[in-house]
Amino acid sequence: MAISRRSFIQGTAVSALGLAAGVTPKFTLAADSKDAIKVASILDLSGGLDIYGKPMSNAINLAADEINAAGGLLGRPLQVINYDAQSNMQLYAQYAQQAALRDKVAVVHGGITSASREVIRPVLDRFRSLYFYPAQYEGGVCDRNYFSSGSTPAQTVEKLVPYAMKKWGKKVYVLAADYNYGQIVSSWVKKSVRDNGGEVMTVEFFPLDVTDFGAAISKIQSAKPDMVWSALVGGAHISFYRQWHAAGMSNKIPIASTVFGGGNEHIILSPEESNGILVAANYMQEIPSAENRAFVDKFHARYGDMTISDLAMGAYQGMLIWAEGVRKAGDIDRMKVIEALESGITLTSPSGQLSVDPTTHHCSLDVHIAEVENHQMKILETFTHQAPVDTAMVCDLKKNPRDTKQYQIEL
């Protein structure tokens, strides 16, 4: 069944632009040249989701600096315009239009939540500006103007659920953020648990600003599941893990998650509050490859001892993919770059080898399962080159190049 919010979102975006009129954008220039290729980064550098946005912005700027140090693209430097959307959907809409019309950027990298993506995407479709979405998400977006450089549930949830069930048991209690991502990912968790002979006892949803999880913890204590699945996100939801530990639950019922660590929760929390949590993601700073060690050294030399998240890697490799498309096209023209990427792009990033699927514009990529141990991710198993089979169930841009929808995949 198609979730087609295009008309609604376009109307909302136009209204938001009017409401946000007169707001001065916060941005900095990474390079300043008349010949520069302009790249927009639209992320939350302040607001409730800045724990995700700041590392992602850093990664985009680092990628641009590396490209510039190697001679730029097509003999021209990159100029990154960093917009601070401040966790505000109105600003996401305003800056997407500003990037396309005023700044005339070659590409936009941005959005963290599904809501921000679905504000940006129709604006950039309308003004024909290429869009890269860097975050892991619920899957199902089918849009020729759009490329995803993060993972989807078929690549992470469907690896972690059977691993955790084999380790801990078949009764699962799900906690999720109450928005598009949390709702759809919870459906994937239920499917995977069912497919592996288990039972989802309850699914509870929480708005992003909720900080009191006392009632939920009491319910979990009464239900006595074998494990808790957490799809909680954002700074407010970190409170759950602290309250969970304070209630004496850390060593009683284990936790699995495909989003934990995206905001460096395992660094913010104490080892007592986070040790033992199982995580699945495309990237972890602890990946032992030579490419990753070199990347981590460069990142830390520039930004200090900041732990690099899966979301930051999504932003970094989105820049690498776009740059490779430009090189292959020999041009920054939107359609020429799209066609170049659709002809087949494979590259090695710090997360491992990845390739662009021409049919869905999503990536086949590596997925790692790890256990949190003393502020580190102890990698337990790696699944190489996992395809975006969930989105491929509903999206075929070769057959339907005019498609611009997000589909909810029937499970």
The tens place of each residue's pLDDT in the chain, 411 residues long, gives 233 333 333 333 333 333 333 333 444 444 555 699 999 999 999 998 888 899 999 999 999 999 999 999 999 999 999 999 999 999 999 999 999 999 999 999 999 999 999 999 999 999 999 999 999 999 999 999 999 999 999 999 999 999 999 999 999 999 999 988 999 999 999 999 999 999 999 999 999 899 999 999 999 999 999 999 999 998 889 999 999 999 999 999 999 999 999 888 999 999 999 999 999 999 999 999 999 999 999 999 999 988 999 999 999 999 999 999 999 999 999 999 999 999 989 999 999 999 999 999 999 999 999 999 999 999 999 999 999 999 999 999 999 999 999 998 877
Name all contacts of 266-271 with Cβ < 8 Å and 24+ positions apart: 266/307, 266/372, 266/375, 266/376, 266/377, 267/307, 267/375, 268/51, 268/238, 269/238, 269/241, 269/242, 270/245, 271/373, 271/374, 271/375
Residues 6+ apart with CB under 8 A from 241: 255, 265, 269, 273, 274
What's the confidence (pLDDT) of residue 22? 35
| pLDDT score at 33 | 59
DSSP-assigned states of every residue in 348-363:
EETTEEEEE-TTTS-E
* Beta-strand pair 346-349/404-407: unpaired
Tokens of 192: 């995977």
Could you tell me the two tokens for 101? 């019309």
Task: Identify whether the C-beta of residue 384 lies closer than 8 Å to the C-beta of residue 353.
Answer: yes
Sheet holding 37-43, edge to edge: 78-84, 37-43, 107-110, 130-133, 146-148
**Fold match flag (2-151+288-366+386-407 vs 153-281):** yes
pTM score, two decimals?
Answer: 0.88
Q: 2-151+288-366+386-407 is classed in which CATH architecture?
A: 3-Layer(aba) Sandwich (3.40)
Both structure tokens of 380:
């337990």
Domain ranges of the chain: 2-151+288-366+386-407, 153-281
Pair 106, 329: CB distance under 8 Å: no
Which residues have C-beta within 8 Å of that of residue 250, sequence separation ≥ 6?
244, 272, 273, 275, 276
**Spatial distance between the Cα atoms of 46 and 375, rounded to a whole number of angstroms:** 24
Could you tell me if 94 and 24 are in contact, meaning their C-beta atoms sit under 8 angstroms apart? no
E-strand ranges in 87-211 read: 107-110, 130-133, 141-143, 146-148, 171-177, 199-206
How far is 181 from 183, CA to CA, in rounded Å? Answer: 6
Encoded tokens for 408: 């909810």
Supply the pLDDT for residue 25.
Answer: 45
**48: which 2 tokens?**
């409730």
153-281 CATH pick, 3.40.630.40, 3.40.50.2300, 3.40.47.10, 3.40.50.2020: 3.40.50.2300
Least Cα distance to 317 among 281, 288, 280 occurs for 281
Residue 408's pLDDT is what?
86
> How many CA within 13 A on the CB side of residue 267?
12
Instruction: Find the largest Cα–Cα distance for the chain.
Output: 65
